[in-house]
Structure 1
């Protein structure tokens, strides 16, 4: 694979599809999130701080709920949105639930996440190891850091 995140459309939190081209010219942190993880509070707090500091300079946070790791995101997107807004006073761009890793038993991974993992390999394997894995995307849609 080669290309940019702009080559993908993803399901939004309301079930519609949106092109990742909406981030053209912006810097994006794409992250798999979970509401009931030991890392939830620190990660959402840090993401909110980054958003508050850099939003006006073109940073966006694209949050993808994922229930793949310890079933720590069991609720629907509307519940996730309410949780993050009320607990952290934060409203990232929230998308539909995804599988960030695929396999025979667990199903097909989201194409965007397959692309992200190929563009920035992981340690030992390319798989996402847990909640709150982040990918930094530059203003041209290229994945520059994991």
Structure 2
């Protein structure tokens, strides 16, 4: 199944298919407002501002599965991200990224780009997945990987033509 067949809900409750992002380079991140990695929102926003016009979309999926570091409502999450980090990239409804109730998008991403020792489990907040213009998962990055460190790989994917 293609990533484009999966539906997601925006943070304000609108359902959209990932098809909406066909032809774009995607950086998909599970986020949290009360995590040691939360300041990565700043670099994610900078990447978005620098490369959005070239076809990059950053998609933030709040998740409360890691030590309850995303306890707020969707409204609180959106307000926090906007006020503290000026986030304008799309945020989505809070989801599970692991376990039986894991969102289908994360099941696919985790299966396509396994982690350390072939693990499918998402280890922590701010795990990042890079997806090319054809909807193929290119790579998984650990939470400690700063968004700016992905710039060269993002630029390379943006310069590729769509098949």
Q: Tell me whether the two structures share a fold, i.e. TM-score over 0.5.
A: yes
Is it true that 1:63 corresponds to 2:60 in the alignment? yes
Q: How far apart, CA to CA, are the structure 2 residues paired with 1:89 and 1:117?
A: 29
- The alpha-carbon deviation at position 90 of structure 1 amounts to 1.6
The number of residue pairs the alignment matches comes to 139
- Matching residue of 1:23: 21
Flag as ranges the 4+ runs of structure 1 deviating above 3 A: none
- Matching residue of 1:47: 44
Is it true that 1:10 corresponds to 2:19 in the alignment? no
- Matching residue of 1:145: 139
Segments of structure 2 that go 5 or more residues without pairing to the other structure are 141-163
Aligned residue for 1:40, secondary structure, equals coil
- The alpha-carbon deviation at position 7 of structure 1 amounts to 1.5
RMSD: 1.0
Matches within 5 A, 1:1-146: 3-41=1-39, 43-103=40-100, 108-124=101-117, 125-146=119-140
Q: How far apart, CA to CA, are the structure 2 residues paired with 1:5 and 1:46?
A: 25
CA contact (8 A) 1:31 1:133 kept: yes
Q: TM-score, normalised by structure 1?
A: 0.91
Q: How far apart, CA to CA, are the structure 1 residues paired with 2:25 and 2:75?
A: 25
Q: TM-score, normalised by structure 2?
A: 0.82
Segments of structure 1 that go 5 or more residues without pairing to the other structure are none
Deviations 1:51-81 (A, max 9, x none): 1111110101110000000100001111111
More helix by share: 2
- The alpha-carbon deviation at position 17 of structure 1 amounts to 1.4
CA contact (8 A) 1:117 1:126 kept: yes
Q: How far apart, CA to CA, are the structure 2 residues paired with 1:45 and 1:11?
A: 23
